[in-house]
């Protein structure tokens, strides 16, 4: 008498097909649904959905919307954190590579900001930037500075600078550890041979070590760029998009349009534009780097 086979043994392909089906549904079907909503006739302020054909008027409105362009420019402005984090991260990595006492503790310390939730760090920096009792103005007062005009994130002219400083603090430690891993991957015999030839430390780093960090640089740029394009929780917790529209980014503006104004079709159009922006900026860069690796 043969033992009755289980359903999975009689259908061996399903355990492999099921995860793929979930991926298709939750990613590609959701993207397609979002795209359709963006061209639907779902009216503004209406909670009951309407999926009839509405045309591309939300896209036309998007490109004539001042708040949209403010959000777009602020999103691009966040890319400034990439070169700053790379420079600081490289400097920290070179410092840690010297084998100084306390390097292990320092390595854990600089990684801590990246390990924290963006909501937590956004809240902490909002407290620090508080013009009344924040730690930054409190320290400046100890040195006799007049802080009455230092509004930080309450000032439209300085809010994006404050956000960039906070993000550099959060990502620089991560970049430093990626760079350090790249430095440690350089064969020690190559470095020893350069030392025997009389090369000094900075020349070894400049000629041998840093050119080997392309993979670490690419990984760092990809992670930071992806965050810059989808920066919502950090900025929302820190500024809420304010003051006014001064710290709007595309994800923040999309959220406000969709869930505060109940304009779901317009919000879907903004998110579709953000998807295209991600594809335009990230995919060519990824393709070029993978092509260089194969070469």
Per residue in 125-155, pLDDT (tens digit) is 999 999 988 999 999 999 988 888 899 999 9
Average pLDDT of every residue of the chain: 87
Residue ranges making up the domain that contains 262: 249-295
**How far is the C-alpha of 167 from the C-alpha of 163, rounded, in Å?**
6
Q: With 90 as the cut, is the pLDDT of residue 102 above it?
A: no
Q: Which of 228, 248, 268 is where one domain is finished?
A: 248
In DSSP terms, 53 is beta-bridged to 40
For residue range 49-99, what is the model confidence (pLDDT) as tens digits? 888 999 999 999 999 999 999 999 999 999 999 999 999 999 999 899 888
Q: Which residues are CB-contacts of 275 (< 8 A; sequence separation ≥ 6)?
A: 31
Same domain, 181 and 284: no
Q: Which residues are CB-contacts of 95 (< 8 A; sequence separation ≥ 6)?
A: none
128 within domain boundaries: yes
Same domain, 293 and 240: no
Q: With 70 as the cut, is the pLDDT of residue 27 above it?
A: yes
Q: What is the mean pLDDT of residues 191-202?
A: 69
- pLDDT for the residue 121: 93
Same domain, 232 and 257: no
**How far is the C-alpha of 172 from the C-alpha of 231, rounded, in Å?**
17
Same domain, 175 and 291: no
Same domain, 112 and 233: yes
207 neighbors 68 (Cβ within 8 angstroms)? no
Same domain, 184 and 288: no
**How far is the C-alpha of 20 from the C-alpha of 47, rounded, in Å?**
32
Query: What is the number of other CB atoms lying within 10 angstroms of the CB of residue 30?
Result: 11
**How far is the C-alpha of 270 from the C-alpha of 253, rounded, in Å?**
8
146 within domain boundaries: yes
**How far is the C-alpha of 118 from the C-alpha of 236, rounded, in Å?**
10
Residue 1: pLDDT band with limits 50, 70, 90: very low
**How far is the C-alpha of 39 from the C-alpha of 253, rounded, in Å?**
19
Number of domains in the chain: 2
Same domain, 287 and 192: no
Instruction: Give phi and psi for 30, each to the nearest 5.
Output: -65, -40
Domain of 200, CATH number, reads: 1.10.3720.10
Q: What is the mean pLDDT of residues 250-260?
A: 95
């Amino acid at each position: 008498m043969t033992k009755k086979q289980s359903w999975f043994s009689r259908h061996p392909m399903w355990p492999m097909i099921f995860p793929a089906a979930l991926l298709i549904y939750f990613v590609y079907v959701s993207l397609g649904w979002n795209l359709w909503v963006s061209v639907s006739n779902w009216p503004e302020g209406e909670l009951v959905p309407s999926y009839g054909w509405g045309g591309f008027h939300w896209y036309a409105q998007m490109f004539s919307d001042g708040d949209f362009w403010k959000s777009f420019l602020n999103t691009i402005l966040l890319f400034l954190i990439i070169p700053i984090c790379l420079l600081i991260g490289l400097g920290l990595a070179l410092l840690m590579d010297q084998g100084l006492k306390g390097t292990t503790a320092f390595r854990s310390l600089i990684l801590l900001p990246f390990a924290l939730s963006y909501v937590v760090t956004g809240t902490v920096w909002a407290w620090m930037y508080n013009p009344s009792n924040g730690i930054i103005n409190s320290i400046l007062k100890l040195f006799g500075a007049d802080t009455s005009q230092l509004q930080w994130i309450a000032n439209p002219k300085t809010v994006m600078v404050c956000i960039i400083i906070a993000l550099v603090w959060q990502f620089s430690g991560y970049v430093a550890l990626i760079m350090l891993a790249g430095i440690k991957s350089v064969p020690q015999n190559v470095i020893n041979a350069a030392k025997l030839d009389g090369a000094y430390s900075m020349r070894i780093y400049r000629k041998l070590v840093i050119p080997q960090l392309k993979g670490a640089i690419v990984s760092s740029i990809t992670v930071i760029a992806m965050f810059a394009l989808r920066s919502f929780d950090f900025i929302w917790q820190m500024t809420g998009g304010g003051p006014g529209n001064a710290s709007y980014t595309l994800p923040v503006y999309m959220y406000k349009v969709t869930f505060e104004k109940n304009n779901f079709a317009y919000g879907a159009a903004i998110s579709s534009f953000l998807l295209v922006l991600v594809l335009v900026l990230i995919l060519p860069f990824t393709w070029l780097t993978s092509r260089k690796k194969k070469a």
